[in-house]
Amino acid sequence: MKEEKDLVTTTETQETVVEKKKSKKDKSHYLSSKEARQRAKESMAQIKKFEAYKRRKNVDESEYLTKMKDDNNVVEFDDLHTYFFTDAGVVKAVDGVTFNIPHGSIVGVIGESGCGKSVTSMSLMQLVQGPTGQIVSGAIRFKGEDYKKDENGNKIPIMTGEIDEKGKPVQLKNEWGVPQFEKCEYVYDIAKMPMSEMRRIRGSQIAMIFQEPMTSLNPVFTIGQQLDEVTMLHIEGATKEFAKQRSIEMLTLVGIAMPEIVYGRYPHELSGGMRQRVCIAMALICDPELIIADEPTTALDVTIQAQILDLLREVKKKMNGSIMFITHDLGVIAEMADFVVVMYAGRIIEMGTAKEIYENPCHPYTIGLQKSKPAVNKTVDRLYSIPGQVPNPIDMPDYCYFKERCNKCVNKCNGSYPELVHVSPTHTVSCYRYEDIYANKQSKEENNG
């Protein structure tokens, strides 16, 4: 009896040891304290290097002035990598993104939460949350209009050709007494610009509409104070009278009734739709070349959403600029965008015109996104959702990131990450099965026809 008891105890002990070994083996992806300290040390070294590069002073313009590959573009993302250096490792939030924003167009960027949409836009604005978030490599070429400078770095005034009483030439001024200066076109590589220089561009040539107006506006300042600040910062020689007039003009443009009264109110005194209109007015004050709309209708009801979208379309026509529209709402993109970029796990997996993406999606992920959208005329027991989860961003696989969730994968998908290939001159996709998917769609269309 005792021997049997000892045998059972020994067996249980052996099983416990085996289970512990298995559990250790299963948890091999967890970091030990030593590995965590090592990774934290490496991350800190990288952060210091990139922070010093961003904050450098007395930088010559030649370091960040460049040329566009296509003059019809306003922005060109070229192999952009933006990482977050954490104690657990490096998160590759944007991992080699390349696409263009043509002049006068709306480019929609779509994908599920965490795919890198907002980080891409924040990289363009140099607003990636630091010090952990850094632009590691790649180029962001932006074409804008800035003040022309002489050899000494001073702005060149526009002269009227007249002489004043003291015998000095008279500088041209507008009706509000604001002096006028010459401007010319520049192309900047924003990834190489120091933060001090980026402040000139941010808010004047590139403006951003954030997704939550309640947190975007400062609750302790009036609407007028916050709008006037943009004018006073970015327009050389602007007076308070000119700033106020410009603010009221923009409030009128975005459809706010009684703009003079709203000018003196605080954000909490306005509705969500009015606050979002104020944010749009703030973005338009300096006539930017590009507006980034980061899910501007997320916090609004359906009626206000439609009004904001109509407003953005009207504004684009009036200012003849471009819009980078970020959203997860496929219906909004279908209504707004000229070109569509689909992102997944920090990479672009498909892009093309809105018609190509919606009528001929070639990537299983894009097809899954469209299937997950509720249909009004269909009765289903359960809404479709893409199975599985996004891979760990700290330890991304070498093969296609969507492979584990894909219902169309084959043996070839176990190879290296698929390159972007052209389906048409404007339509590209990153998938080994795109030819089969495209051929099947074509055959179905022919049979239905």
More confident residue, 272 or 252: 252
pTM of the model: 0.86
Which is it for strands 290-294 and 322-326: parallel, antiparallel or unpaired? Answer: parallel
**Structure tokens given for 28:** 């091999």
Question: Which residue from 287, 321, 291 is spatially nearest to 308, judged by alpha carbons?
Answer: 291
**Structure tokens given for 40:** 């934290």
pLDDT given at position 401: 92
Report the percent of the chain where pLDDT is more than 90. Answer: 47
Average pLDDT of the segment spanning 234-256: 92
Res. 121 pLDDT band, cuts 50 70 90: very high
* Cβ within 8 Å of residue 136, ≥6 positions away: 50, 81, 82, 83
pLDDT in tens, 275-323: 989 999 999 899 899 999 998 887 677 788 888 888 888 888 877 889 9
pLDDT given at position 29: 57
In our burial notation (b when 16+ CB lie closer than 10 A, e otherwise), range 299-324 reads: bbeeebbeebbebbeebbeebebbbb
pLDDT given at position 25: 43
pLDDT at 61 over 80: yes
Taking every pair of Cα atoms in the chain, the longest distance, rounded to a whole number of angstroms, is: 121
Determine which of 120-124, 140-144, 271-275 has the lowest per-residue pLDDT on average.
271-275
pLDDT in tens, 39-50: 888 889 999 999
Res. 213 pLDDT band, cuts 50 70 90: confident
Mean pLDDT (the chain, rounded): 86
More confident residue, 72 or 314: 72
Res. 21 pLDDT band, cuts 50 70 90: very low
pLDDT at 24 over 50: no
Distance CA 100, CA 72 (A): 10
Average pLDDT of the segment spanning 370-385: 78
* Cβ within 8 Å of residue 235, ≥6 positions away: 178, 242, 243, 286
Answer yes or no: are the C-beta atoms of 242 and 228 closer than 8 Å: no
pLDDT at 1 over 80: no
Report the percent of the chain where pLDDT is more than 70. Answer: 90
pLDDT in tens, 153-182: 788 999 888 888 888 888 898 888 888 999
Average pLDDT of the segment spanning 220-227: 96
pLDDT at 435 over 80: no
pLDDT given at position 95: 93
Neighbours of 215 (CB within 10 A): 11
More confident residue, 25 or 262: 262
Q: How far apart are the first and last CA of the chain?
A: 82
More confident residue, 24 or 400: 400
pLDDT given at position 439: 58
Res. 440 pLDDT band, cuts 50 70 90: low
Res. 392 pLDDT band, cuts 50 70 90: confident
Q: What is the 3-state secondary structure (H, E, C) of the chain?
A: CHHHHHHHHHHHHHHHHHHHHHHHHHCCCCCCHHHHHHHHHHHHHHHHHHHHHHCCCCCCHHHCECCCCCCCEEEEEEEEEEEEECCCCEEEEEEEEEEEEECCCEEEEECCCCCCHHHHHHHHHCCCCCCCEEEEEEEEEEEEEEECECCCCCECECEEEEECCCCCEEECECCCCCECECEEEEEEEHHHCCHHHHHHHECCCEEEECCCHHHHCCCCCCHHHHHHHHHHHHCCCCCHHHHHHHHHHHHHHCCCCCHHHHHCCCHHHCCHHHHHHHHHHHHHCCCCCEEEEECCCCCCCHHHHHHHHHHHHHHHHHHCCEEEEECCCHHHHHHHCCEEEEEECCEEEEEEEHHHHHHCCCCHHHHHHHHCCCCCCCCCCCCCCCCCCCCCCCCCCCCCCCHHHCCCCCHHHHCCCCCCEEEECCEEECCCCHHHHHHHHHHHHHHHC
In degrees, to the nearest 5, what angle opens at C-alpha 88 toward C-alphas 85 and 93?
45
Average pLDDT of the segment spanning 423-447: 74
